Amino acid sequence: MRDSDAEYLILVDKNDNPIGTEEKVKCHLPNGKLHRAFTVLLFNKDRNLLLTRRSSNKMLWPGDWDGTVASHPRQSETYVSSAERRLPEELGISCKLDYLFKFEYHVPYKNIGSENEICGTLIGIVDDPSKIKLVKEEISDIKWVTLDDLLEDVKKSPHLYCPWMIVALYFLSESKTDVLSEYRSILSVWVRSDVKHILEEPLRYHFPDKKWGLKK
């Protein structure tokens, strides 16, 4: 019997075709069922990235630093529409978002559960950061970071950062050409030629079996 109070996620095949739904918790236990997700990267006009710290009550990666928002589309939602819905629920702001790319990854968290997702990556620019208001059940803290500061800290302390965020940063240079052009004033720094090389070591820390890759 379907639990009317449970949150259901979209199960997908390797080509991101929907094949059913499953309760959120069951999608993450024990090795995870492949499902659809998204991650959002919000920047300010100074080309700094907004990171959020996951609440300590999260089942997986509690207290770790993430991209701006990460969650799951509902049935009938696109990656963009689901992320635009979720932003005010977690940060109290609305923002136009654009789709960059998607990737697949599978990574366990201790002996608790796993993430097994095809993850759409989205970008936006925050016009007025002063309007951000944290929803404490989801996010415990925020910080704006430059590329160099983030790369230095991720390389030094990869265990403090969510693995999917590092994958998303790694593939920024693989974004849709038209979106790269639209956001070139922001992304020209973040797709610098040395970024991938620097992130390879943190990715090996999280993915010793290399279960991550770009989806075309």
Residue 65 and residue 53 in contact, taking contact as beta carbons nearer than 8 Å: yes
Q: Would you name the residues annotated as active-site residues? A: 117
The two three-digit tokens of residue 18, written as one number: 């929907």
Exposure class string for 59-95: b at 16+ Cβ within 10 A, else e:
ebbeebbbbbbbbbbbeebebbebbbebbeebbebeb
- DSSP 8-state class, residue 141: E
Inter-residue contact 63 to 140 (CB < 8 Å): yes
Nearest to 207 by CA among 160, 170, 167: 167
Provide the 10 A C-beta neighbour count for residue 52.
Answer: 25
